[in-house]
Structure 1
Amino acid sequence: MKKLLITSTFLAASTLSTSVLAVAPGSATCGWGNLLFEGQSGTPSHVLAATTNTSTGNNTFGMTFGTNGCSTDGTLTYGGKKMIDVSMIMDEFSEDVARGNGEAITAVAVSLGVSEEDRPLFKSTLHNNFNTLFPSENATTEQVVTSMFTLMKNDSTLVKYTV
């Protein structure tokens, strides 16, 4: 009887969680990443908030149960392109930055909206500042992305891609 009750509860919770996720839009204030970077604006803050939410899994939990500032009301929408999650390609990205070219660095440039004519500058800027981006082999994604946006903000051409 106890096994049947546990199984029934698990199935009900799974069904409820799945149905909630199907219509869960989240919100601009959803997840711990948004709490940590509250009041900040710009792409770097949004990337760091999203990375925090992804790495801790709290955004999914919050959307499932309506906690962490997440909303389960409304309709899912998509307002533009998505930046590549650098943490998923960190090894390839660091190798490409070291070389100054490659698929991973190109994918990051494209996901940031860097125009084709500005991509060589983007790649050379990252390449020439490899030690800033990767001060150690233990550099975190957050450190690398923050440093990348700082470098871009300090360049008169690349700054337009950080807004």
Structure 2
Amino acid sequence: MKKFLAAAAFVAAFSASSAFAVDSTGCGLGSMIFRGQRGLVPQILAVTTNGSFGTQTFGISTGTSGCSQNGTISGGTGRMFAFLENNMEQFAIDAARGRGETIEAIAALTGTSADKAGDIIKENFAFIFDSHDVSAVTVTLKVSELLA
């Protein structure tokens, strides 16, 4: 069971980085199956489905599954993931205080005021950082959900 969970976590983390397009899950079969659902679990399942079965690549190539051959990558979620992946330690410090440069950067990426983002992130610190080894993917999805 531990091997299965480890493999699922790896696939989710690996798949997630390529799925940040229009929203946090992009397009593809997984995004269509879980469309309209909110929260961390449906997003992870959508991303995992897209990455595991190659439906996102197929959808982009054929213009199906909610994908466009002429699509533009414009979502701030992908940029947030890249930022957090390189700044997790400082973000955790700033999140606990509700202010700091990383909070300001996240606020700018989401179009939220730094004060509002700081308050929300500080209030939800335990939710965002629910374990000592939380991944940048998980933090990105949770922060995106909170600031949406």
Query: TM-score scaled to structure 2, two decimals?
Result: 0.50
RMSD over aligned Cα atoms: 4.1
Percent of residue pairs bearing the same amino acid type:
21
41, 57, 82: which one pairs with 1:61?
Answer: 57
| 1:70 CA drift (Å) | 5.2
- For structure 1, the residue ranges without an aligned partner over 5 or more in a row are 1-25, 153-160
Aligned residue for 1:31? 28
Q: Does 2:42 align with 1:83?
A: no
Report SS of the residue matched to 2:131. coil
Matched residue SS, 1:97: helix
Corresponding position: 1:124 with 2:119: yes
Q: Quote the residue 1:112 is aligned against.
A: 110
| Structure 1 contact 59–68 (Cα < 8 Å) conserved | no
Could you say what secondary structure the match of 1:40 adopts? coil
Number of residues of Structure 1 aligned to a counterpart in Structure 2: 115
CA contact (8 A) 1:133 1:148 kept: yes
Give the direction of change, closer, same or farther, for the CA distance of 1:33–1:111 in structure 2 (3 Å limit): farther
The answer (yes or no) to whether the contact 2:95–2:118 under 8 Å persists in 1 is yes
Alpha-carbon distance in 2 for matches of 1:130, 1:56: 29
Amino acid at match of 1:131: A
1:108 maps to a residue whose letter is: I
| Matched letter for residue 62 of structure 1 | F
Q: Which structure has greater helix proportion?
A: 2
TM-score (norm: length of structure 1): 0.47
* d(CA) in 1 for partners of 2:144, 2:61: 34
3-state SS of 1:126 partner: helix
C-alpha displacement of 1:123: 0.6
Deviations 1:103-127 (A, max 9, x none): 3322221122113xxx223213312
Q: CA deviation at 1:133?
A: 1.2
Separation in 2 of the partners of 1:106 and 1:59? 35
Mapped to 2, the partners of 1:67 and 1:76 lie a distance apart of 9
**Residues 30 and 76 (structure 1 numbering): CA distance in 2 closer, same or farther, change over 3 Å?**
closer
Q: Within 5 A, what are the aligned runs for 1:1-163?
A: 30-40=27-37, 48=43, 52=47, 56=51, 58=54, 61-63=57-59, 65-66=61-62, 69=65, 71=67, 75-76=70-71, 82-85=75-78, 86-88=80-82, 89-90=84-85, 91=88, 92-115=90-113, 119-141=114-136, 143-145=138-140, 147-148=142-143, 152=146, 162=148
Largest Rg, 1 or 2: 1
Tell me how far 1:134 sits from its aligned partner: 0.4
Distance 1:30 1:146 in 2: 16
Q: Decide whether aligned partners of structure 1 residues 141 and 111 sit closer, same or farther in structure 2, where only a CA change above 3 A counts.
A: same
